[in-house]
């Protein structure tokens, strides 16, 4: 699907979608339990993949809400207000069929470790994009723990074959490729017989995503502790040399339910759009922005540093933003890789240079997001300089004009380009716009309600 976005002025209030990161973890945690309710989940293409995996392991996921009867025979989950998860009690069964993770890297990595707990063989695959993404370090770690974990093409990429059961133990893994490897081992390690000690061989990047995992595990009654070089406990994942997870634990949220917070990765597009396109004298308000462990909440400070007027009422969970002349900034995205597309788009509108550092790991997402943003913004008239670990957007040398751009089958690229299109003269056509369903279903409808001039074309 293509969308056509014409330069617009915004006003009004929008609600952020629930967090994709939390929803993935909550669904799998509920699967590890005897059963739990996940309230306010994000129902998207990616989280449906995790729900299917839980079902494949012997659990069941049904929608609860006006549009759902709880049976959910096709696995679509509708517009559920909550998800009732029948768990598999800590030990996944061997799936009757291949687990298709579609385009969801989070699903594949978390579910690969879950599959290692099953007493038998699980096969996991995904779409063409997912089959190009690295899984080798996690496969190696599981192999070191005594599990058969292999790529069918012997290249560290899906399809994967995993044969358990995993008993636990001590394992080393790099921390600078994907924090999801760590999350997968922590979540699975809690239900092993021996527990799991995870040693990091390189510094941990995207530490806030592991903090999300630690926060959620605690809410499900599971203990997992980051430790320093001496083995002493730390308050958070940043600077950790490893993690300690006792075995034999039970997943059980207080009251049998868990509520998913709003998603700051998605909030970044709404906030950025408000900063570049709010009508004079008006405000864009974003609801559902309560504080949590999400590192992407850093976008609030980044947009404010660039010059926008931002007011975050943390207690109410509401952000108000007004349009302003933006200036370039330098941002390290080592812990916040999903913010790179948003920051790059803002940099194309701002005066001066916006330098996005420590971003090599952002090349291993649904697409190489560093190159994708550089190339697509240049189609709109932006000037960029791309290095292996740095992307610089030269805002003062950029003159954004409508053009046809490619979303690269990547939800975050699509939404970031829509943000840039708001500030471009004329009309911008974004190809592959349907991929916003991965994390923000209804994104363009939400933006339309705020005043974006947008037309969808099949």
Residue 95 is classified by DSSP as: P
338 noted as active-site residue: yes
Q: Does 133 count as an annotated binding residue?
A: yes
* Count of helix runs (H) and strand runs (E) in the chain: 12, 24
323 marked ligand binding residue: no
Q: Which of 338, 406, 410, 437 is catalytic?
A: 338
Q: Which two tokens stand for residue 437?
A: 């369903």
Residue 178 marked as a ligand binder: yes
SS3 percent helix, strand, coil of the chain, rounded to 5, is 35, 25, 40
Do the annotations mark residue 242 as ligand-binding? Answer: no
Was 105 annotated as part of a binding site? Answer: yes
The answer on whether 20 is annotated among ligand-binding residues is: yes
| Residue 148 marked as a ligand binder | no
Question: Quick one: how far is CA 114 from the chain centroid?
Answer: 19
Beta strands, E only, 261-361: 284-287, 309-313, 318-322, 330-332, 353-357
Q: Output b/e per residue, 377-388; b: 16+ Cβ within 10 A.
A: bbebbbbbebee
Give the Cα separation of 413 and 398 in Å (integer): 19
**369: annotated binding-site residue?**
yes
Structural element, H or E, at residue 160: strand 160-163
Q: Is the Cβ–Cβ distance between 410 and 435 less than 8 Å?
A: yes
Helix or strand (DSSP H, E) at 269: helix 264-277
412 is in an annotated binding site: yes
To the question of whether residue 314 is assigned a binding role by annotation, the answer is no
- Report the side by side order of strands in the sheet with 12-15: 12-15, 284-287, 318-322, 309-313
Is 71 annotated as a binding-site member? no
Contact call for residues 413 and 376 (beta carbons, < 8 A): yes
How many other β-carbons are positioned within 10 Å of the β-carbon of residue 335? 21
Binding-site residue positions for 3-phosphoshikimate = 20-21, 25, 178-180, 206, 338, 365
Binding-site residue positions for phosphoenolpyruvate = 20, 105, 133, 180, 369, 412
Binding-site residue positions = 20-21, 25, 105, 133, 178-180, 206, 338, 365, 369, 412
Question: Which residues have a catalytic role annotated?
Answer: 338
């Amino acid at each position: 699907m293509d969308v056509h976005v014409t330069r617009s002025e915004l006003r009004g209030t929008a609600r952020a979608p629930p967090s994709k990161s939390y929803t993935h973890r909550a669904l799998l945690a509920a699967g590890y339990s005897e059963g739990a309710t996940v309230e306010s989940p994000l129902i998207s293409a990616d989280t449906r993949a995790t729900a299917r995996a839980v079902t494949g392991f012997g659990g069941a996921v049904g929608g609860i809400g006006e549009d759902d009867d709880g049976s959910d025979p096709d696995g679509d989950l509708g517009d559920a207000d909550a998800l009732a998860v029948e768990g598999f009690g800590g030990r996944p069964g061997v799936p009757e069929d291949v687990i298709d993770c579609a385009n969801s890297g989070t699903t594949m990595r978390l579910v690969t470790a879950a599959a290692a707990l099953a007493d038998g063989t699980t096969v996991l695959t995904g779409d063409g994009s997912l089959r190009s993404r690295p899984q080798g370090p996690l496969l190696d770690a599981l192999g070191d723990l005594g599990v058969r974990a292999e790529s069918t093409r012997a290249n560290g990429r899906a399809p994967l074959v995993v044969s358990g059961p995993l008993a636990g133990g001590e394992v080393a893994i790099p921390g600078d490729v994907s924090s999801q490897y760590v999350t997968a081992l922590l979540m699975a390690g809690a239900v092993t017989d021996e527990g799991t000690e995870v040693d990091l061989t390189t510094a941990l990047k995207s530490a806030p995503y592991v903090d999300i995992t630690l926060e959620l595990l605690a809410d499900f009654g599971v203990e997992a502790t980051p430790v320093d070089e001496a083995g002493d406990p730390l308050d958070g994942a940043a600077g950790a040399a490893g993690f300690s997870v006792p075995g034999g634990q039970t997943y059980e949220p207080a009251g049998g339910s868990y509520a998913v917070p709003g998603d700051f990765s998605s909030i970044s597009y709404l906030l950025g759009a408000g900063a570049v396109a709010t009508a004079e004298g008006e405000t864009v308000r974003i609801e559902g922005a309560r504080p949590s462990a999400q590192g992407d909440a850093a976008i609030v400070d980044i947009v404010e540093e660039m010059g926008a007027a931002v007011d975050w009422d943390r207690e109410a969970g509401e952000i108000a933003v007004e349009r302003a002349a933006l200036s370039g900034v330098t941002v390290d995205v080592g812990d916040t890789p999903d913010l790179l597309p948003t920051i790059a788009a803002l940099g194309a509108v701002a005066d001066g240079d916006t330098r996005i550092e420590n971003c090599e790991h952002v090349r291993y997402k649904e697409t190489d997001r560093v190159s994708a943003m550089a190339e697509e913004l240049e189609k709109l008239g932006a000037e960029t300089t791309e290095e292996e670990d740095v992307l610089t957007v030269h805002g003062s040398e950029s003159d954004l004009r409508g053009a046809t751009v490619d979303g690269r089958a990547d939800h975050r690229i699509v939404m970031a380009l829509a943000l840039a299109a708001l500030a471009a003269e004329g009309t911008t056509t974004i190809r592959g716009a349907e991929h916003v369903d991965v994390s923000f279903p209804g994104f363009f409808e939400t933006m339309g309600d705020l005043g974006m001039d947008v037309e969808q074309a099949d």
